């Protein structure tokens, strides 16, 4: 594996530093001088139209960014990813989420594994299961068909499926619903199951490692809930609680109401889930890149084989664009490089993602794991500490809600916040009130926001509206606030797949430029270890309590003093 390049030692980095020093943002002027700027900087990637023209970039900046990509060997590393080199260096693994959506006939062998054959075998298993549930052929222990699927998982085993489910609600089979339990806070599971019928509920326990505390704890609690509820209904004669059930009774019920998704099929069997009801995947799929693996089983049930295949096809279409489009038209490459420009040269600490689609309300949360768990690193893949900023904070909410909450800061605050706006030409629900088309009102806001951000409003314009001089400054919009507009005809499974893959590749590009391994997540380990180590103190172990730092000890003491039972 080639050594990472310190980007700050490249010539392009120096050029960008120089450009940033004398940089004067002037979106209005740039559009005036170059009337075809919008056309020149708008691109098509699969079904997405991406307008980069309202970004704070000029031709010299874009050219220097292209040189930065060349000097940090982004394209070579992209090719290494697609062909299965072990670019996840700290875990010595290939990174092959793109193989999950390759057409079946597209052969790929990596490390002696026939990846294409394995992927299509598991997919066939997932589809078979999904179709049986959808057709009412998969029956619960009392012979009733399944109407609710509860996915238990966390991080990548939750955020992707939960986000996609919400986004594709119109494609969900009527009569079926999915719920998603992730938090170890008992509230999550209890609230999600409290109105469910155990006879028609099926749990999917999704965990890449099958060792995650939250997921295994929730899965055990769900199993107890299921058995207690079934027993209370008297389905086993003379036994009205889980405690009275024989091993065989429990196994029989669990086999009808629990399936699992994991790379660790041994642990699945140990948990008591029938290996025939387990769907595997491989350690070359990172958790946050796994929604298109068997981790998407709940989705395959919800939207069916056709919907899920379209979703995968959309991802593949974006992969192909990323893999083959020249740099000057390669949308993930351009967006990733522009993000580097903002992060390292214009010093933007955060990046907003603002979908104008209520269906995408979980998209920013999903992106937070994708981007921040991937690029929140301070050492390069050879262990050298970086001397420049890396991963920005991603955040957002759907428009127009965000407009009435935090857009004030984007428009008039002191920080520059690059923002991606996402919208669809066609509504799922065409609502009209007289002449008012509600979707047009919605899109009006989408178009207006990027316009306001880019071009602002001068003091003279404010005065011309008759504003008293004393409040003119407060009503000025400085403009030159960068945004990208992403549009597609409609939010379909395939378009959603394209969007997800777009952001996966943007994240990848940034990681390569920074020389970091975007595919490990060691930063989540310490908290897990400490939680395990100090839990006995919470349960009253004085020795362990004494070992805690004064602040933590005092907090645990507060807990003991205030816990009611
Ligand atoms: O703790 C972080 C993490 O490892 C994520 O990367 C992952 O998506 C999540 O936990 C869940 O892990 P698993 O799927 O193994 O339960």
What HEC string does 174-242 produce?
A: CCCEEEEECCCCHHHHHHHHCCCCHHHEEEEEECCCCCCHHHHHHHHHHHHHHHHHHHHCCCCCCCCCH
Number of helices (H), then strands (E), in the chain? 23, 15
Residue 215 alpha carbon to ligand 1 centre in Å: 9
Q: Is the CB of 209 under 6 A from ligand 1?
A: yes
Q: Report, as ranges of residue numbers, the positions in the chain whose pLDDT lies below 70.
A: 1
Tens digits of residue pLDDT in 73-82 = 999 999 999 9
ipTM of the shown complex? 0.98
- Do the strands 432-433 and 436-437 form a parallel or antiparallel pair, or are they unpaired? antiparallel
The pLDDT of residue 532: 94
Residue 366 alpha carbon to ligand 1 centre in Å: 13
Q: Is the CB of 357 under 6 A from ligand 1?
A: no
The pLDDT of residue 554: 97
Rounded to 5°, the CA angle 449-453-457 comes to 105
Mapping DSSP onto H, E and C, the string for 398-425 reads CCCHHHHCCHHHHHHCCCCCCEEEEEEC
Q: Is the CB of 290 under 6 A from ligand 1?
A: no
Give the three-class secondary structure for 442.
helix
**Which of 155, 215, 289 is the pocket-test mutation for ligand 1 (most atoms within 8 Å of CB)?**
155
The pLDDT of residue 240: 87
List phi, psi (to 5°) of 423: -150, 165
**Which of 158, 205, 212, 268 is the pocket-test mutation for ligand 1 (most atoms within 8 Å of CB)?**
212
| Distance in angstroms (rounded) separating the CA atoms of residues 224 and 338 | 51
Q: Is the CB of 154 under 6 A from ligand 1?
A: yes
Residue 156 alpha carbon to ligand 1 centre in Å: 6
| Distance in angstroms (rounded) separating the CA atoms of residues 113 and 338 | 37
Q: Is the CB of 161 under 6 A from ligand 1?
A: no
Residues in the chain: 565
> Of all atoms in ligand 1, which is nearest to the CA of residue 153?
16
DSSP state of 2: P
The pLDDT of residue 326: 97
The pLDDT of residue 2: 79
The pLDDT of residue 323: 98
404 catalytic per annotation? yes
Q: Which among 100, 90, 155 has a CA at the least distance from the CA of 122?
A: 100
Question: Tokens at residue 538, please?
Answer: 């919470």
Catalytic residue among 166, 199, 373, 392: 373
The pLDDT of residue 138: 98
Catalytic residue among 347, 528, 532, 560: 528
Residue 83 alpha carbon to ligand 1 centre in Å: 25
The pLDDT of residue 242: 87
* Residue recorded with tokens 């103190």: 537
75 catalytic per annotation? no
Q: Is the CB of 156 under 6 A from ligand 1?
A: yes
Residue 151 alpha carbon to ligand 1 centre in Å: 14
* pTM higher than the cut 0.80: yes
The pLDDT of residue 1: 66
């Amino acid at each position: 594996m080639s050594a990472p390049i310190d980007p700050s030692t490249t010539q392009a980095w120096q050029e960008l530093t120089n450009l940033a020093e004398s940089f004067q943002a002037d979106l209005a002027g740039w559009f005036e001088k170059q009337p075809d700027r919008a056309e020149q900087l708008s691109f098509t990637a699969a079904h997405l139209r991406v307008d980069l023209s309202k970004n704070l970039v000029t031709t010299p900046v874009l050219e220097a960014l292209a040189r930065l990509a060349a000097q940090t060997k982004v394209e070579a590393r992209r090719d290494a990813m697609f062909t299965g080199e072990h670019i996840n260096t700290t875990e010595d693994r290939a990174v092959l989420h793109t193989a999950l959506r390759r057409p079946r006939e597209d052969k790929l062998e990596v490390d002696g594994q026939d990846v294409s054959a394995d992927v299509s075998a598991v997919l066939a298993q997932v589809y078979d299961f999904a179709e049986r549930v959808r057709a009412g052929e998969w029956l619960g222990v009392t012979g009733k068909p399944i109407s609710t699927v509860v996915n238990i998982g966390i991080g990548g085993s939750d955020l992707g499926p939960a986000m996609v489910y919400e986004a594709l609600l119109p494609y969900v089979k009527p009569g079926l619903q999915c719920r998603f339990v992730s938090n170890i806070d008992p509230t999550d599971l209890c609230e999600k199951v409290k109105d469910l019928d155990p006879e028609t509920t099926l749990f999917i326990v999704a965990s890449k490692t099958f060792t995650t505390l939250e997921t295994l704890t929730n899965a055990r609690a769900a199993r107890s809930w299921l058995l207690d509820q079934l027993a209370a209904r008297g389905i086993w004669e003379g036994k009205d609680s889980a405690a009275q059930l024989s091993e065989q009774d429990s196994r029989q019920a669990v086999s009808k109401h629990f399936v699992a998704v994991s790379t660790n099929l041994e642990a699945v069997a140990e948990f008591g889930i029938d290996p025939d009801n387990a769907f595997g995947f491989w350690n070359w799929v990172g958790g946050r890149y796994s929604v298109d693996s068997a981790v998407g089983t709940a989705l395959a049930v919800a939207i069916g084989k056709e919907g899920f295949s379209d979703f995968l096809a959309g991802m593949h279409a974006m992969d192909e664009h990323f893999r083959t489009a020249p740099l000057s038209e390669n949308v993930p490459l351009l967006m990733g490089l522009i993000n580097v420009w903002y992060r390292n040269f214009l010093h933007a600490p955060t990046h907003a993602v603002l979908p104008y689609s209520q269906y995408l309300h979980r998209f920013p949360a999903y992106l937070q794991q994708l981007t921040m768990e991937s690029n929140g690193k301070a050492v390069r893949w050879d262990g050298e500490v970086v001397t420049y900023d890396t991963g920005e904070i991603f955040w957002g909410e759907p428009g127009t809600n965000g407009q009435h909450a935090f857009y004030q800061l984007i428009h008039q605050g002191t920080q520059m916040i690059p923002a991606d706006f996402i919208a669809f030409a066609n509504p799922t629900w065409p609502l009209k009130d007289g002449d008012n088309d509600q979707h047009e009102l919605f899109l009006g806001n989408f178009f207006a926001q990027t316009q306001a951000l880019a071009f602002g409003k001068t003091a003279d314009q404010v005065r011309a509206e008759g504003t008293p001089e004393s409040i003119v400054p407060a009503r000025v919009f400085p403009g030159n606030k960068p945004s990208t507009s992403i549009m597609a005809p409609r939010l379909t499974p395939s378009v959603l797949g394209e969007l997800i893959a777009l952001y996966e590749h943007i994240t990848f590009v940034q990681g390569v430029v920074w020389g970091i391994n975007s595919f490990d997540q060691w930063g989540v380990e310490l908290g897990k270890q400490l939680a395990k180590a100090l839990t006995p103190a919470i349960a009253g172990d004085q020795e362990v309590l004494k070992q805690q730092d004064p602040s933590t000890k005092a907090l645990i003491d507060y807990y003991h003093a205030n816990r009611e039972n």
